[in-house]
């Protein structure tokens, strides 16, 4: 049975959109039916079994349209498998996990989603937007730091977790956890086996 997955992204300089596209492609390889859209243009999520939401994180803030998506769909997301990610770190900090902003963390707890996985970002002169970003992009921090192997590995683990629901019923057992543990990185409560490799 094919599972229907929605990948939603909120991007400032297109880097997060690129990550979302790679995740969607990997899920399709896993046999899932996948739609991808910008958070600002997302409509009903009623037809989807799972939702993946990614946002650019800048100055410790998510894009407002990503926060609005979570807030709008809190009740529906509680009944679905949900994964979150954010992207943005560059330079020496590119491999450091970024904490979710407080407003996003509150919504994630309401939904029952585990903390967002952090992916390194991209900052290049051609795509930089805003005075500060353009200034930094002219320096030695300018680079595309996205780690595509790590991104596809994460997507593969999600694909396996979604597929597992085809063989065992899935339900959220509490408001802040999957599988009875907040450390399982988003595997559904019906899953056995290992959590995703990253995040």
pLDDT reported for residue 89 = 62
Query: In terms of residues, how long is the chain?
Result: 199
Q: The domain spanning residue 48 has which CATH number?
A: 3.40.50.360
Give pLDDT, residue 2. 76
45: number of Cβ within 10 Å: 20
pLDDT tens-digit readout, 81-114 = 999 999 986 767 778 888 999 999 999 999 999 9
Domain count of the fold of the chain: 1
**Is residue 169 domain-resident?**
no
Q: Is residue 59 included in any domain, yes or no?
A: yes
Distances (CA, A) of 161 to 8, 49, 127, 149, 198: 18, 12, 34, 18, 14
Task: Report yes or no on 120 lying in a domain.
Answer: yes
Question: Would you call 56 helix, strand, or coil by DSSP?
Answer: strand
197 within some domain = no
> What pLDDT is recorded for position 132?
53
> By CB neighbour count within 10 A (0-12 exposed, 13-18 middle, 19+ buried), where does 126 fall?
exposed
pTM: 0.76
139 in a domain, yes or no? Answer: yes
From CA 136, how far away is CA 159, in angstroms rounded? 36
- pLDDT tens, residue by residue, 116-152: 999 987 754 455 455 455 445 455 666 677 899 999 9
In a domain, 173, yes or no: no
Instruction: Look up the domain containing 42 and give its range.
Output: 4-164
Confidence of residue 182 (pLDDT cuts 50, 70, 90): very low
């Amino acid at each position: 049975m094919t599972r229907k997955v929605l990948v939603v992204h909120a991007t400032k300089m297109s880097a997060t959109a690129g990550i979302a596209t790679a995740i969607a492609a990997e899920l399709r390889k896993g046999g899932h039916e996948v739609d991808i859209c910008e958070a600002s243009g997302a409509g009903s999520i009623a037809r989807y079994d799972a939702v993946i939401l990614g946002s650019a994180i800048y100055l410790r803030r998510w894009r407002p349209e990503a926060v609005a998506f979570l807030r709008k769909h809190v009740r529906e997301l509680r009944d679905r498998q949900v994964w979150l990610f954010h992207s943005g770190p560059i330079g020496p900090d590119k491999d450091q996990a970024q904490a979710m902003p407080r407003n996003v963390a509150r919504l994630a707890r309401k939904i029952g989603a585990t903390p967002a996985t952090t992916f390194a970002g991209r900052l290049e002169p051609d795509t930089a937007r805003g005075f500060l970003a353009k200034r930094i992009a002219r320096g030695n921090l300018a680079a595309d730091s996205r780690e595509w192997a790590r991104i596809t590995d994460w997507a593969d683990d999600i694909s396996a977790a979604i597929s597992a629901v085809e063989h065992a019923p899935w339900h959220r057992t509490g408001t802040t956890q999957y599988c009875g543990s907040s450390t399982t990185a988003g595997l559904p409560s019906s899953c056995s086996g290992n959590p995703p490799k990253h995040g």
